[in-house]
Structure 1
Amino acid sequence: MLEDALGYPLRTDDRVATLIVGGALIVASVFVLPAFVLQGYLVRVLRSAATGERAAPSFIDWGELFVDGLKLVVVQAAYSLVISVPTVGAVVLFVVGGATGSEAGVAAFGTVSLLLLLVATLLSILVAYVLPAAMTNFALAGELSAAFDVEAVREAALSGRYLVGVLFGVVLGGVISAVVSPVALILIGIPALFYGQVVAYYCFGRGFAEATDATAGEDTSEPTDVPDRSGLEQPRVGR
Structure 2
Amino acid sequence: MILDIYKDALEYSAKDWMKLVVLGVICFFSFLFLPVFLITGYNYRVVDTAVHGIINGRDPLPEFDDLISMFVDGVKVVIVQIAYMIVPFIIFMIFALIAGQVDGTLSSVLMLIGCLITFVIFVVAELMIQMGICHMAYNDGAFSKAFAVSEIKEVIDEIGWFECIITLIGLIIITLVISVVVTALIGIIFTAFGISGAVLGADPSGIFVLGAFINSAVAMFIVGPYLSIFNSRSIGLLYTMQI
TM-score (norm 1): 0.75
Structure 1 residue 90: Cα displacement: 2.2
* Structure 2: stretches of 5+ with no match in the other structure: 187-213
Identify which of 4, 7, 10 aligns with 2:11: 7
- Which structure shows the bigger proportion of residues in helix conformation? 2
Residue 65 (str. 1) matches residue 70 (str. 2):
yes
- Displacement, 1:86? 1.3
Kindly indicate whether the alpha-carbon contact (under 8 Å) linking 2:134 and 2:239 is maintained by their aligned counterparts in 1: yes
SS in structure 1 at match of 2:76: helix
Once the two structures are TM-superposed, the CA of residue 123 in structure 1 deviates from its matched residue by: 0.9
Contact 1:90–1:114, Cα closer than 8 Å, also in 2: no
Shift of residue 20, structure 1, vs aligned partner: 0.8
Q: Which residue of 1 aligns with 2:23?
A: 22
- Provide TM-score, normalisation by structure 2: 0.74
CA distance in 1 between counterparts of 2:164 and 2:105 reads: 42
Larger radius of gyration: 1
Question: How many Å separate the matches in 2 of 1:118 and 1:169?
Answer: 22
Q: How does 1:107-186 map to 2 (within 5 A)?
A: 107-141=105-139, 142-158=141-157, 159-160=159-160, 162=164, 165-180=167-182, 185-186=215-216
Is the Cα–Cα contact under 8 Å of residues 43 and 72 in structure 1 kept in the other structure?
yes
Q: What's the offset of the Cα at 1:107? A: 4.0
Q: Separation in 1 of the partners of 2:171 and 2:85?
A: 20
CA distance 1:121–1:138, shift in 2 (3 Å): same
1:23 deviates by 1.1
Structure 2 SS opposite 1:10? coil
CA, structure 1 residues 172+180, in 2 after alignment: closer, same or farther (shift >3 Å)?
A: same
1:92 alignment counterpart? 97
Q: Could you tell me whether the CA contact under 8 Å between 2:127 and 2:164 is conserved in 1?
A: no
Task: Read off the aligned partner of 2:216 and give its amino acid letter.
Answer: I
DSSP-derived class of the 2:13 partner: helix
Identify the match of residue 236 of structure 2 among 198, 205, 212.
205
1:173: Cα distance to partner?
A: 3.0
Moved more, 1-10 or 44-53: 1-10
Higher relative contact order (CA 8 A, sep 6+): 2
Q: Does the 8 A contact of 1:176 with 1:193 survive in 2? A: no
Percent identity (aligned): 24
- CA drift of 1:40 comes to 0.4
Unaligned 5+ runs, structure 1: 98-104, 214-239
* 2:42/2:74 contact within 8 Å kept: yes
Q: CA deviation at 1:16?
A: 2.9
Residue among 76, 80, 84 paired with 1:79: 84
Q: Give the aligned partner of residue 229 of structure 1.
A: none
SS in 2 for 1:187: helix
